[in-house]
Amino acid sequence: MERVYLSDWLFNAGIIGFLSILFEGKEDLKEGENTFSNGKNIYIGKNYIEFEREVLEGFSDKYFNSAYERYRRTDRFIDYCREILEDIKKETLYKDIEKSYEELKNRIDNFSKLKDFLKKDFQLPPLNEVKRNPELFREYILKVLEVAEKNKQILIENDVKIYLGKIYGQKSFLNRTITSNYKNKFKEDFEDKIINDTKKIKRSILCINCGERYAKKDTSFDTGISPFTGVNTDALNFFWNFNAKLPLCEICELIYFCTFRGFTESVLENKYFFVNSDTSVIDLYKKNLLLQEKLKKNLTENIFVEFFSELLLREEYEKSTHRLQGIAFIEIDLTNKDVLPKVFSFNISRAKAEFLKEHAEKNFKNLINIRYSIKRYSIKDSIKEIIKNVTLEFLEKILSNTLSYGYLSFLEYLLLESIKGNKDVKTYYSPIHLNILNIIIEDYIQKFKKYERGEKMSSKNEEQLWFMFKKGEEIANKLISENSENKIPSLTYKLLSCLRTEDVHSFMNIILRLYMTYSLEVPSLLVKALNEKDLFLAYGYSFVNGLLSKYTSQNNEN
């Protein structure tokens, strides 16, 4: 029996991937029970899995099927061709046959393996001939379908190589020198040699990962440990004596080579996510199944807010009042392999989970897809536009216990810069969005920050915050009616400066002069909150948001 323990996040992703491939995504795996695959026993313990080597019989087929499910280019192409044939049958295609002709041509040009098969016998007829005789187009598509179906297994294996080539290095069938029979190569390198125990072993060196089995001979870093971790043969200068050999055993190497199945794909190309924790194998498995379920949803939904709140309120956690520790959320971006994966570690209580759930249903739904972009200039005068999703940044700060009014102040200044016409800053949110964020921050501080400081917590203040928002709008309306709307940006900057530095007295001085100028009554809420700084800041930001709300709406109308 071989035993594999939970370890670092990447290896844990491999364990989850290994189980997902072996049991083909089965959801009802249980801890402490023997589970069978191919009639062979695999046991899932608290923090380990244990299995016989023979459990890998047929693993190569499952591995390639699992990888192909993530790409499916061949099936998508075949479905596309059938749709065209259906349109031809309905005689709807001929109205725009040139467009369909060009799209099919582009798809085939980008499908190099299929293009190689077609070169032997079939060539796309010239467009002018197709226009004169559309039947030629139908006949050509039928031939393409025939070739695709005949060589489907080869095309599928090629798709798997392309997909996994983005994630791994030059290991096994992914090596550039291997040009065919990819599945057989994988079976030979992993399934057969592990089952038959025919790997060449260095009996003097233990595996660097498990520390139990002996390491294989001449295993390179460029293996299941992926290039995006910064561990690859291109980084030889980082290794002692320029030696990039890695003492890994064959079991751990296979586990690392299964990480792709542990990752959850984003709808954004080449972005992957993984939830890591040190609780148990089954908990880890279930968390990532939940993440996959949530990421299937439409991007217009706050899937991450929903994911974290549901994850932490599931039935198994209802039984415990202990704080949940060791949860990490990993984002892998393959669009830039110079950037290492982002790892966000969280320390989350039940109260915080309930807090997220409450605001997910009430407030986060109103913050869909709000974002900002900032242009950064390098020494070489190159421009890089950084785009950030405000909701995800906000959620990250809640989970990592770093949320404060400082973040709100940052967003307020960005909005002002955007209003001023700063071309390096673009904001895709309004003062109303900012006030919703302010409501969440105020509630967060009341429930968590004050509790940690041992201070008395206030009751809910959402209505008062919207009241202060209206008061800001009233002042803005007054300035606009007096043809003094040009004073709003400078007034806002001054008020924000006071809030950012928590200078309550200077803020009130500005407010008093402003209200006295127009013979208006100062909002009593501000006066009552003078000795409660956190609440005063919340009221102050709401007032500023109301001020900006009328100013931005006026500019939009103009």
The Cα 537–Cα 543 span in angstroms is: 10
- Cβ–Cβ < 8 Å for 527, 464: no
Note the helical H segments in 421-461.
431-444, 450-452
The beta strands (E) that lie in 180-270 are given as 201-206, 214-216, 264-265
The predicted model scores a pTM of: 0.68
- Cβ–Cβ < 8 Å for 258, 66: no
Dihedral sign of CA atoms 483, 486, 490, 496 in order? positive
The Cα 557–Cα 398 span in angstroms is: 36
Q: What pLDDT tens digit does each residue of the chain (558 aa) get?
A: 899 999 888 899 999 999 999 998 888 888 876 666 666 788 999 999 999 899 999 999 999 999 999 889 999 999 999 988 888 877 766 667 888 888 888 999 889 889 888 876 678 888 888 888 888 888 999 999 999 999 999 999 999 999 888 888 777 888 888 888 999 999 998 999 999 887 667 667 888 888 888 888 765 555 445 555 555 444 444 444 445 567 788 899 899 999 999 998 876 666 788 888 777 899 899 888 888 877 766 554 555 666 665 665 554 444 443 445 556 767 777 666 555 677 666 656 667 777 877 887 678 878 877 889 998 776 555 677 888 888 878 887 887 788 899 999 999 999 999 988 888 999 999 999 999 999 999 999 888 876 555 555 555 688 999 999 999 999 999 999 988 888 999 999 999 999 999 999 999 999 999 999 988 899 999 988 888 888 999 999 999 999 998 777 655 544
- Cβ–Cβ < 8 Å for 366, 436: yes
pLDDT at 318: 45
What counts of helices (H) and strands (E) characterise the chain? 25, 13
Facing residues of 46 across strands? none
Burial 65-101 (b: 16+ CB within 10 A, else e): ebbbebbebbbebbeebeebeebbeeeebeeebeebb
Percent of the chain that is helix, strand, coil (3-state, to 5): 60, 15, 30
Q: Taking Cα atoms as reference points, which of 503, 515, 512, 443 lies closest to residue 479?
A: 515
**Domain limits of the chain?**
2-57+167-262, 73-155, 263-372, 403-558
C-beta neighbour count of 326 within 10 angstroms: 12
Dihedral sign of CA atoms 158, 161, 164, 167 in order? negative
Burial 140-167 (b: 16+ CB within 10 A, else e): bbeebbebbeebeebbbbbbbbebbebb
The Cα 53–Cα 66 span in angstroms is: 20
Nearest-Å Rg of the Cα atoms of the chain is 30
pLDDT at 317: 46
H-run or E-run covering 325? strand 324-333
